[in-house]
């Protein structure tokens, strides 16, 4: 204390600022804790049955001699006359707030800041207001709002004063730092702290170019007893905060964020390097984040030794850049893909080391829309979504590649116009490789295969559970119908889908015939004289097995066709044509089996008209499926040759 007075008497107040700022930052943490607990008291008084958060960690770090009263405050609060919040600790809370407001504002009010007079007046006004509140029996609704709201369009609040003082302190920290170490503003550190700071800044510098001209990532470091404190200016938002402390080989951090998605993104990134998180219930503050909750979490990792501690510090720092403007990038990606896909793209771009800021600076959604407009007027119509034309997987690949291109070209100093050209070329290549329609064809073929396999199973095992099989078959047949309807809707916008519709209509005849055959078989044994003898069942199984084999060829043909279209490689044509010839031979084989079946049916069931009718109908329906398979084969051949530019 004598040393402080001596320094003050020499007129060198600036030498006291680091210590003042350290005390102010601790007061800032306590003030935020007071306001958080006060809000929790209000919520608990309104809903006493709700559980209360655990503030044990924050209370332990607050450096208050007695925290018991503060921990018990929410439990004792209640509303009187439904508008006044009453609790025994009111006077003690308001006095504690007033004390820490003085400590928090001291570096500004007693220093040489340009905002000194305005801040002092504002501080004194709030000290007087706190004294007035302490003389009341409780806090009415207006007083609660005056203390806690964060709406800058409304009247001043204690919460706004705390946030503004914290911002001023951060700015002042940079001005009074005793030195700059690898870009970090540091003061009152030990010699042993330097490798830790250098490791952190090394990771920060490694990825910092990916933010380009965006502000952020300024770092302030100081020592507080046994703890090395690191604060990074992660962004400009009031509640977007990242504070770390290093003690021994343990790193602890506190992170808060307005956006749940970005919070989870950062949490997952740190979990990958071994951090264990404790995430608190969302906090709601009036006027902040449009009244929506924001998230606060604490993470901790303990390194095996000093070498691993340095690696962990470097790893944390290298990931901070990827949260800058993360939510803006997510919203723009969602114009082209679903929300979960957009988040996966941002995760992957961070893992790949490219980030998303380059894509945002290069134009983001405008870059994509201009490429869509430029590359193919027939592929894209007004109102079309990119994933509707390319499909989800291809669209995700395109956007991820575009983020990579944007970052690498901007880092190399290339103009945005060249990135736009690259986007058009990339999209053109994606369109040439587009096989989304084959996904639809493959899905429909899978339903046909499931129906054919079911028919073989029921013929093999007789009449067991035939009703369940019939119900399941009807569901598959309807799902196959929906694929046809989807293709028709696409064809209304894009004429290129007409060939897909033509194929699927023919393929749907297969599904209809197989479902009808399963239903027909379900009638066997339902009435006297409708049972089928073993020899009839055997020939029908042969017919069904031949049809199943042909459908397996159909599935194979669709996949081969996909690669023929993707690669336009002449060497792929021969396997494709061989499969088509298998379909032709299968249809002829099924014709022969149908004739054998009819002969066997007539010989075995000439004196059982009901069974004869059912068996003949079943055989004809199965054979109809093979006829439709042949039509499908020719339609697929025509579609592939047209898309590949080959002569048919």
What is the spatial distance between Cα 130 and Cα 35, in angstroms, rounded to a whole number? Answer: 13
- What's the DSSP call for residue 283? B
pLDDT tens-digit map of 95-120 = 999 999 999 998 888 877 778 899 99
Q: What are phi and psi of 222, to 5 degrees?
A: -150, 165
Token code pair at residue 403: 């983020």
pLDDT band, very low/low/confident/very high, at 462 (cuts 50, 70, 90): low
Q: What are phi and psi of 287, to 5 degrees?
A: 80, -5
Q: Exposed, middle or buried, 139 (CB in 10 Å: 0-12/13-18/19+)?
A: buried
pLDDT band, very low/low/confident/very high, at 15 (cuts 50, 70, 90): very low
Residue 187 reports pLDDT greater than 70: yes
| DSSP assignment of 291-333 | G--BEEEEEEEE-SSHHHHHHHHHHHHHHHGGGTTHHHHHHHH
What's the pLDDT score for residue 11?
Answer: 36
Edge-first strand order for the sheet with 139-140 is 78-80, 84-86, 139-140
What's the pLDDT score for residue 59?
Answer: 85
Residue 578 reports pLDDT greater than 90: no
CB contact set of 571 (below 8 Å; sequence gap of 6+) = none
Residue 626 reports pLDDT greater than 90: no
What's the pLDDT score for residue 359?
Answer: 96
Secondary structure of residue 263 in the 3-state scheme: helix
Residue 394 reports pLDDT greater than 50: yes
Sign of torsion, CA 31 285 233 116?
Answer: negative
Q: Indicate the range of 93-107, 536-550, 561-575 predicted with least confidence.
A: 561-575
pLDDT tens-digit map of 40-49 = 888 888 888 8
Q: Indicate the range of 287-296, 395-404, 431-440, 609-618 predicted with least confidence.
A: 287-296
CB contact set of 406 (below 8 Å; sequence gap of 6+) = 358, 359, 361, 362, 367, 419
Distances, alpha carbon 332 to alpha carbons 5, 263, 285, 397, 485, in Å: 57, 18, 27, 16, 30
Mean pLDDT of the chain: 84
Secondary structure of residue 219 in the 3-state scheme: strand
Quick one: average pLDDT of 426-446? 80
What is the spatial distance between Cα 158 and Cα 129, in angstroms, rounded to a whole number? Answer: 10
- Whether residue 601 contacts residue 616, with contact meaning beta carbons closer than 8 Å, is answered with yes
Edge-first strand order for the sheet with 276-279 is 179-181, 184-187, 219-224, 227-232, 241-247, 250-257, 295-302, 276-279
Q: Tell me how crowded residue 287 is: count the other CB atoms within 10 A of its CB.
A: 17
Quick one: average pLDDT of 371-394? 74
Q: Exposed, middle or buried, 89 (CB in 10 Å: 0-12/13-18/19+)?
A: middle
Quick one: average pLDDT of 222-250? 80
Q: Indicate the range of 2-11, 179-188, 359-368 predicted with least confidence.
A: 2-11
What's the pLDDT score for residue 4?
Answer: 38
Torsion of CA 380, 384, 390, 393, to 10 degrees: 160
CB contact set of 474 (below 8 Å; sequence gap of 6+) = 515, 519
Q: At what angle do helices 416-432 and 392-411 cross, to 10 degrees?
A: 150
pLDDT tens-digit map of 47-87 = 888 888 888 888 887 778 788 899 899 899 888 777 899 99
Query: Regarding predicted confidence, which is higher, 583 or 325?
Result: 325
What's the pLDDT score for residue 531?
Answer: 81
Residue 536 reports pLDDT greater than 80: yes
CA 595 to chain CA centroid, Å, is: 58
pLDDT band, very low/low/confident/very high, at 544 (cuts 50, 70, 90): confident
Residue 500's nearest CA partner among 444, 557, 426, 451 is 444
What's the pLDDT score for residue 210?
Answer: 95
Q: By percentage, how much of the chain surpasses pLDDT 70? A: 88
Residue 565 reports pLDDT greater than 80: no
Distances, alpha carbon 352 to alpha carbons 27, 400, 630, in Å: 40, 10, 47
Length of the chain: 648
Secondary structure of residue 462 in the 3-state scheme: coil
Quick one: average pLDDT of 9-23? 56
| Count of helix runs (H) and strand runs (E) in the chain | 24, 11
Token code pair at residue 408: 């690498």
What's the pLDDT score for residue 16?
Answer: 54
What percent of the residues of the chain are helix, what percent strand, and what percent coil, each to the nearest 5? 70, 10, 25
What's the pLDDT score for residue 235?
Answer: 61
What's the pLDDT score for residue 642?
Answer: 72
Most confident among 420-424, 432-436, 440-444 (mean pLDDT)? 420-424
Q: Indicate the range of 221-225, 444-448, 555-559, 562-566 predicted with least confidence.
A: 562-566
Distances, alpha carbon 241 to alpha carbons 2, 26, 162, 167, 299, in Å: 36, 15, 14, 11, 13
Going along the chain from its start, the domains and CATH numbers come out as: 12-172 (no CATH), 177-323 (no CATH), 327-432 (no CATH), 436-644 (1.20.58.220)
Query: Regarding predicted confidence, which is higher, 363 or 288?
Result: 363
pLDDT tens-digit map of 470-515 = 888 899 999 999 988 988 887 877 777 788 888 889 889 999 999 9
What's the pLDDT score for residue 243?
Answer: 82
- Whether residue 619 contacts residue 597, with contact meaning beta carbons closer than 8 Å, is answered with yes
pLDDT band, very low/low/confident/very high, at 566 (cuts 50, 70, 90): low
What's the pLDDT score for residue 131?
Answer: 93
- Whether residue 161 contacts residue 119, with contact meaning beta carbons closer than 8 Å, is answered with no
Torsion of CA 59, 60, 64, 67, to 10 degrees: 50
Query: Regarding predicted confidence, which is higher, 608 or 277?
Result: 277
Torsion of CA 522, 527, 532, 533, to 10 degrees: 150
What is the spatial distance between Cα 56 and Cα 44, in angstroms, rounded to a whole number? Answer: 18
Q: Hey, which residues does 301 pair with through a beta bridge?
A: 251
pLDDT tens-digit map of 308-331 = 999 999 999 999 999 999 999 999
């Amino acid at each position: 204390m004598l040393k402080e007075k001596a320094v003050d008497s020499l007129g060198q107040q600036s030498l006291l600022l680091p210590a003042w700022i350290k005390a102010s930052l601790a007061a800032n943490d306590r003030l935020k804790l007071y306001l958080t607990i006060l809000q929790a008291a209000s919520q608990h008084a309104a809903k006493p049955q709700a559980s209360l958060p655990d503030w044990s960690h924050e209370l332990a770090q607050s450096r208050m001699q007695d925290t018991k009263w503060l921990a018990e405050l929410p439990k004792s609060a209640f509303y009187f006359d439904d508008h006044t919040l009453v609790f025994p600790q009111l006077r003690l809370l308001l006095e504690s707030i007033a004390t820490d407001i003085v400590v928090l504002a001291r570096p500004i009010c007693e220093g040489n800041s340009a905002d000194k007079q305005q801040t002092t007046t504002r501080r004194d006004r709030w000290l007087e207001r706190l004294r007035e509140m302490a003389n009341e029996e409780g806090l009415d609704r207006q007083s609660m709002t005056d203390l806690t709201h964060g709406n800058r369009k409304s009247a001043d609040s204690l919460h706004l004063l705390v946030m503004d003082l914290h911002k001023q302190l951060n700015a002042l920290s940079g001005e009074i730092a005793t030195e700059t170490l690898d870009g970090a503003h540091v003061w009152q550190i030990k010699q042993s702290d330097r490798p830790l700071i250098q490791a952190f800044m090394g990771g920060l510098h490694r990825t910092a170019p990916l933010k380009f001209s965006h502000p952020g990532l300024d770092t302030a470091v100081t020592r507080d007893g046994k703890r090395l404190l690191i604060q990074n200016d992660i962004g400009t938002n009031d509640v977007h905060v990242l504070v770390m402390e290093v003690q021994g080989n343990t790193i602890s951090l506190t992170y808060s964020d307005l956006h749940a998605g970005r919070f989870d993104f950062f949490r997952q990134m740190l979990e990958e390097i071994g951090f264990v998180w404790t995430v608190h219930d969302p906090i709601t503050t009036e006027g902040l984040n449009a009244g929506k909750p924001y998230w606060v979490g604490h993470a901790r990792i303990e390194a095996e030794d000093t070498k691993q501690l340095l690696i962990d510090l470097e790893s944390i720092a290298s990931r901070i850049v990827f949260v800058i403007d993360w939510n803006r990038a997510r919203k723009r990606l969602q114009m082209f893909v679903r929300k979960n896909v957009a988040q996966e793209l941002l995760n992957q771009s961070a893992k790949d080391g490219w980030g998303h800021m380059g894509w945002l600076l290069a134009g983001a959604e405008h870059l994509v829309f201009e490429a869509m407009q430029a590359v193919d007027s027939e592929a894209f119509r007004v109102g079309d979504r990119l994933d509707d034309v390319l499909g989800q997987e291809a669209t995700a690949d395109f956007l991820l590649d575009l983020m990579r291109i944007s970052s690498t070209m901007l880092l190399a100093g290339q103009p945005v116009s060249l990135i736009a050209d690259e986007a058009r070329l990339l999209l053109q290549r994606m369109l040439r490789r587009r096989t989304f329609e084959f996904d639809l064809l493959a899905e429909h073929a899978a339903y046909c295969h499931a129906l054919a396999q079911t028919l073989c199973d029921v013929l093999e095992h007789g009449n067991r559970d035939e009703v369940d099989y019939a119900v399941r078959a009807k569901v598959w047949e309807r799902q196959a119908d929906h694929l046809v309807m989807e293709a028709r809707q696409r064809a209304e916008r894009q004429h290129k889908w007409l060939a897909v519709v033509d194929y699927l209509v023919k393929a749907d005849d297969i599904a209809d015939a197989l479902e009808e055959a399963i239903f027909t078989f379900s009638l066997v044994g339902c009435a006297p004289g409708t049972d089928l003898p073993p020899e009839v069942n055997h020939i029908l199984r042969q017919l069904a097995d031949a049809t199943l084999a042909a459908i397996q060829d159909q599935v194979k043909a669709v996949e081969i066709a996909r690669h023929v279209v993707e690669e336009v490689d002449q060497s792929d044509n021969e396997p494709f044509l061989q499969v088509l010839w298998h379909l032709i031979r299968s249809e002829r084989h099924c014709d022969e089996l149908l004739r054998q079946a009819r002969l066997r049916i007539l010989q075995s069931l000439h004196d059982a008209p009901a069974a004869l009718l059912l068996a003949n109908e079943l055989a004809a329906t199965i054979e109809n499926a093979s006829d439709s398979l042949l039509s499908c084969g020719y339609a697929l051949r025509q579609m592939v040759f047209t898309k590949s530019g080959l002569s048919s």
